[in-house]
Chain A
Amino acid sequence: MRKYLYRLEFVVLKRESDIDMSATQIETQTSPTIVKVENLSKVFGELKAVDNVSFEIKEGEIFGFLGPNGAGKTTTINILTTLLKPSSGKAEVCGYDIFKKANEVRRNVGVVPQEYTADEDMTGINNILLCSDLYGIPRSDAKRHAEELLKLVELQDAAKRKVSTYSGGMRRRLELACGLINYPKLLFLDEPTLGLDVQTRTAVWKYIKTLKEEYHMTLFMTTHYLEEADHLCDRIAIIDHGHIIKVGSPEELKESIGGDVIVVNVEELEPDISPDIAKIKLVKDVKKNAEIYRIKVELGEEASPQIMDLIRSKGLHVTKISLTKPTLDEVYLELTGRTLREEEVDKLQAFRQRATIRRARS
């Protein structure tokens, strides 16, 4: 119901954001740039997988690529991690050109791919040690490091078990540990919670937050879960058909399509106090329909008591009040013209594909 109410509002009220910058944005604007992408394109035959994309990632932030399957998220990650060569454009990762200094880029970044890449026939710890060998980390360091990582992702107890006995969540955590073996400055996470149950997803979110907050790592993640982007990312780029449609913090994106909505029911039909409500500083628009006021505001939590006070001071009685915050759902719908429901099919397909792979491997 609340969502429905909101939908009505957001069609009517659309305006450019003039809200104060969020705390995270202020913080990241002062940080140095760690990824710089300029006019990057990748063409596969006729298909433009990534089409003239430019963006920057600041050190210490979680930057998210949000978009439907096939939008070019993984292709972008593959280019930035030197797996794919771009058709045109350039990019710098950790200060190194992805083309000329590919090996330096590889040393400085970690990758957690979408697939489960761990070797099923090997134990968890041996998988991590294999990864460290690929980075050329000496064995003595690697062993200590592997144990720390296993502790971080809470897999110490399963370290000596074969990966084929692991659950999906354990595999995902192992992938995370493998991606961290070189203690990267920048970690790429491609759909880190795809197909995971809610509990494991929460756990993965916790690790991601730990990496940012405790280890000051920069993270670049792709996702098509809106709540994930909303929960984790400092800034989000909405990408569709290889284009970046919009970049901003979750708050900014939500603000860009309209602020909070307060719906107040009062007992009395008359008088109409809309002009008075509109005078409150945070209020941007008021609409009255019978005894219901639909008020569009900035900072709903602060505006609502003021509105309540005003209504009471006019001698009216409030019978009901609700505050609706915009969600990324609406942003997504607005910008890509698609809802998340349409993505569910792909998610299922992705899951089936994974199940097939697992069966093929066992």
Chain B
Amino acid sequence: MEKTELNEQTSSENSSVQQKQNEENLAREQQPFRTRPKMSTSPLHGLWALTNRDLRKWYTNPIQLFVSLIQPIVWLGLFGKALNFGTFIAGSGASQAQQDLILKNFFGTTSYFSFLACGMLAFIVLFTSAFSGMSVVFDRRFGFLNKALSTPVARGSIVMGKILQSVVRSLVQSAIVLVIAVVLGMDTTHFTPLGIAGTFLIIFLMGTGLSALFTMLALRSGDWQTQMAIINLLNMPLLFASNALFPAKIMPTWLQDVVKLNPVSYAIDAARQLLIGATGMTSLLVDFSVMMGFAIILSAIGIVLSWRLLSK
């Protein structure tokens, strides 16, 4: 008896609650713009929106994509084909086996073009990442950064958005460079699905670390000329003081030490081992550990700096 009463009570309560809710919904529809929208308190909200905003500029503008691919292709053509070390050694009168041995000793593979193609993958990642800071500068200059900072979006998301968009671009562009390299005659005999996946993982790590580096250098700057100078200052040493174009072995000892300090070298080393089966500078485990550390540490520094530096 009591129980049914209780049930009745709750059901009538339920219906009154529902009615109230219906009324509220109706009021909301009749009075647009008067109810405050719900807002997510997740620290990651807005991250994809910020990433996609930058990516959109790139994928809706095919010219930009095309132009950014020209340089590594020209390098592939000029260095990879013109500097044909194979023919260089062929004139020495050594037997084919000896020639292969010499090449293998130097480059870890008999095809310099394939050796260079792996370097070019890193090249496109390096140059794409370098410009990730540039969009921070422009966002600051045109006020978008202030706009974003006045919203509850996490400061770290603003930086992570820049890093992510750059990484996505790096992955897509390096995939295109790899396809073009194969078309131009890269050695594919050592390609395995796992190897290719590993290569893109190392590209992901390298892109994350490098774009975090360039983004944090731009956090305080509203001046694109300075940013350009920084890009030029860092890009060339990072490229040339690595094993991208030539193996570290043939370099003077002091430069070899620099190459070993350059994270770009480890990414290229891993890509060469995974794609063309070249004997490397160090083990894959070391390569991945170094790049993992590089990506995590620099992203973490980037996020911490974003808390301090984005707002003055």
Determine whether the beta carbon of B41 is less than 8 Å from that of A136. yes
- Beta-carbon contact of A117 and B146 below 8 Å: yes
Residue contact B148 to A134, C-beta cutoff 8 Å: yes
Task: Tell whether, in the assembled complex, residue B32 and residue A111 are in contact, meaning their CB atoms are under 8 Å apart.
Answer: no
B residues 293-312 touching A (CB-CB < 8 Å): 311-312
**By the criterion CB–CB under 8 Å, are B146 and A83 in contact?**
yes
Interface of B is mostly: loop
Does B42 have its Cβ within 8 Å of any Cβ on chain A? Answer: yes
A183 touches B42 (CB 8 A): no
* Chain B proximity of A126: nearest CB distance (Å): 9
Checking A83, A137, A142, A149 against B150 with a beta-carbon cut-off of 8 angstroms, the contacting residue is: A83
* In the complex with contacts A116-B143, A117-B147, A133-B33 CB distance below 8 A: no
CB distance from B60 to the nearest CB of A (A): 7
Q: Mark A118-130, 1 if CB is under 8 A from B, else 0.
A: 0101100000001
Per the bound structure, the CA–CA distance linking A83 and B152 in Å amounts to 11
Taking a contact as CB atoms under 8 Å apart, the answer to whether B49 and A182 are in contact is: no
Asked whether B33 lies within 8 Å of A132 as measured between CB atoms, the reply is no
A177 to B72, CA, bound (A): 43
Cβ of A173 under 8 Å from chain B: no
Report A136 CB to chain B, min CB distance, Å: 3
How far in angstroms is the closest Cβ of chain B from A344?
A: 24
A131 to B147, CA, bound (A): 9
B144 within 8 A of A: yes
| A135 B33 Cβ-Cβ under 8 A | no
User: B150 to A182, Cβ gap below 8 A?
Assistant: no
Interface size classification for chain B = 20 to 34
Are A357 and B45 in contact, CB atoms less than 8 angstroms apart? no
The docked-state distance in angstroms from the alpha carbon of A141 to that of B28 is 12
A183 touches B46 (CB 8 A): no
Over the window 30-54 of chain B, the binary record of Cβ atoms lying under 8 Å from chain A Cβ atoms (1 yes, 0 no) is 0011111111111001101110010
Q: Which of A111, A114, A119 contacts B144 (CB 8 A)?
A: A119
Question: Within 8 Å CB of B147, what residues of A?
Answer: 111, 113, 117, 131, 178
Is A271 engaged at the interface, CB distance under 8 Å to the other chain?
Answer: no
Q: Which residues of B contact A135 (CB under 8 A)?
A: 37, 39, 46, 151-153
Residues facing A in B128-187 (CB within 8 A) are: 141-144, 146-153
A136 CA / B57 CA spacing, docked (Å): 22
Known contacts A115-B142, A117-B143, A148-B33: does B150 contact A136 (CB below 8 Å)? no
* Interface range, A side: 35 or more
Alpha-carbon separation in the docked complex, A148 to B33 (Å): 7
Is B56 on the interface with A (CB-CB < 8 A)?
Answer: yes
Set of chain A residues within 8 Å of B36, measured between Cβ atoms: 182-183
Q: Give the chain A neighbours of B49 by CB distance below 8 A.
A: 130, 133-134
Q: Is residue A107 contacting chain B, with contact meaning CB distance below 8 A?
A: yes
Collect the chain A residues with CB atoms within 8 Å of residue B57's CB.
121
B37–A183 CB distance below 8 A? yes
Tell me whether B152 and A103 are in contact (CB under 8 A): yes
Q: Which residues of B contact A85 (CB under 8 A)?
A: 311-312
The reply to whether B151 and A134 form a contact with Cβ atoms under 8 Å apart is yes
A55: interface (CB < 8 Å): no
A218 contacts chain B at the CB level, 8 A cutoff = no
Which residues of A are at the interface with B, using a C-beta cutoff of 8 A? 78, 81-85, 103, 106-107, 109, 111, 113-117, 119, 121-122, 130-138, 141-142, 144-145, 148-149, 152, 178, 181-183, 215, 357, 361
| 27 A-B contact pairs sorted by A residue (CB < 8 Å) | A78-B146, A84-B311, A84-B312, A103-B152, A107-B39, A113-B150, A115-B142, A117-B146, A122-B53, A131-B151, A133-B49, A134-B45, A134-B152, A135-B46, A135-B153, A136-B41, A136-B152, A136-B153, A137-B37, A138-B40, A145-B37, A148-B32, A149-B33, A182-B36, A182-B151, A183-B37, A215-B33
